Amino acid sequence: MQTVSTIGGLRAALAALRDRGPLGFVPTMGALHNGHRSLVEASRRQCDVTAVSIFVNPTQFGPNEDLSRYPRTLEADLQMLESTGVDVVFTPTPEVMYPAGASTVVDVGALGDRLDGASRPGHFRGVATVVAKLFHLVQPQFAYFGQKDAAQVAVLRQMVRDLDIPVELVVCPIVREPDGLAMSSRNRYLSPQERRTALALSRALAAGQALADSGEVQAGNLQRAMEAVLLNEPGLKIDYVAVVDWKTLLPVDAVKSGALLAVAAWVGTTRLIDNAVLAAR
Ligand code: PAF
């Protein structure tokens, strides 16, 4: 496994590997967990070369968000990536990704202001900008993202379509702890009590999903069922509870297959998200 921190180093490392076959890319912000591992494994199954980036992207954090305390665990991350057979890891500094004077941004428009984009203004502009640059540098045939960041997936699909970026986005299922908590780098902020409180997110989705499975099609009723679970949990503050079309992130009235149940909530000072995609009906 080669670890490179410069753009020249990345290009040279990948140039030497490209003729092996398809290149898969997993962009990350580090603090890797089994959710990331599943993305790397998916790339390893599908591609001959796998590259991973680790970059805590400052432009996707708001002024009062957790950029400075975001977990940074580079040594453990590199060990994990080595053991999963990754070929190249790109660990740029902010100066490499955003050299002095950099001013170009990628903005997908209104889509980027929905769900997490509504709660975190500018977040998806930061995500789209950094992922566009990473795609440009790595030029992968496949790129792997977790379904947990469902709104991010919608934004990046739009970006890839609009800019005709020749990459296929592969969305991998949410990886959960045995008790249902969706894996997230931010789970490590949680105290033991908050960790228990956080289980309400997956319980809320299960309630919405169960109601849908019983034949309920009114999105409002699914939303209320999910809200009821979250409102019943002391120590948790709802950010959003939504039933949306996964492509547009706009609310739907009646659900059909592929609709997204999405929740975001604050547990203490930690904002957590989770979602479920309704199966074919
Ligand atoms: O999902 C993430 O970890 C980040 O948003 C990403 C895609 C690596 C961009 O910084």
- Tens-digit pLDDT profile for residues 145-183: 999 999 999 999 999 999 999 999 999 999 999 999 999
**Ligand 1 cavity residues, CB under 6 Å:** 27-29, 57, 60, 127, 130-131, 149, 152
Give the pLDDT confidence of 59-76 residue by residue, as tens digits: 999 999 999 999 999 999
**Residue 21 in tokens:** 């076959």
Which of 57, 66, 137 best tests ligand 1's pocket when mutated (most atoms within 8 Å of CB)?
57
Domains of the chain: 2-172 (3.40.50.620), 185-274 (3.30.1300.10)
Q: What is the pLDDT of residue 213?
A: 94
Measured between alpha carbons, how far is 249 from 239 in angstroms, rounded to an integer? 16
Whole-angstrom CA distances from 41 to 16, 48, 66 are 22, 12, 28
Q: What is the pLDDT of residue 211?
A: 97
- Catalytic residue set: 36
Question: Which residues of the chain, if any, have pLDDT below 50?
Answer: none
Q: What is the pLDDT of residue 281?
A: 63
CB half-sphere exposure, 277, CA atoms < 13 A: 20
Q: What is the pLDDT of residue 279?
A: 83
Determine which residue's CA is closest to atom 3 belonging to ligand 1. 28
Determine which residue's CA is closest to atom 1 belonging to ligand 1. 28
Measured between alpha carbons, how far is 151 from 275 in angstroms, rounded to an integer? 10
Whole-angstrom CA distances from 209 to 8, 33, 268 are 48, 26, 26
243 C-beta neighbours (distance < 10 Å), count: 23
Q: What is the pLDDT of residue 257?
A: 78
Determine which residue's CA is closest to atom 5 belonging to ligand 1. 127
